[in-house]
Amino acid sequence: MMAESPRTRLGAERVRALARLGDLTRELAGIIASTADGSSGGDDEHDPEGATVAYERQHVAALLARAHEQLADISAAQRKLDEGRYGLCDRCGLPIGAERLAARPAALTCVRCAARRPRPRG
């Protein structure tokens, strides 16, 4: 059986990330709508599981932000692939490693650099 190409893996990652973005966007819109129409009490009353509406909104908003970051990483990895730099660490320039790329096709840094500190965004 032939291994998937990086382009194929990144394409599949993009499809999953876009689906997750859509799901989370709808979920956040539902939470916001429920507080606007007063169906949840509108004053951050606790739901049966004990989480507040504000907590749920913040949690989904954080997941949505992470999904946007993942999509940006996928785009960056696809650009690196087009430029012939896919698989090279953005920080140290050394190879990222086949195992890391198999697990995270959109990885932009090697394990060593990723462990040092978070990649700056912006």
| The overall pTM is greater than 0.85 | no
Per-residue pLDDT tens over the stretch 30-39 = 988 887 766 5
Per-residue pLDDT tens over the stretch 46-69 = 556 556 888 999 999 999 999 999
The parent domain of residue 18 ranges over: 6-116
Q: 104 in a domain, yes or no?
A: yes
Q: 122 in a domain, yes or no?
A: no
CATH number for the domain that contains residue 24: 1.20.120.910
Q: How many domains does the chain have?
A: 1
**What's the average model confidence in pLDDT over 20-27?**
97
Task: Give the CB-side neighbour count of residue 48, counting CA atoms within 13 A.
Answer: 0
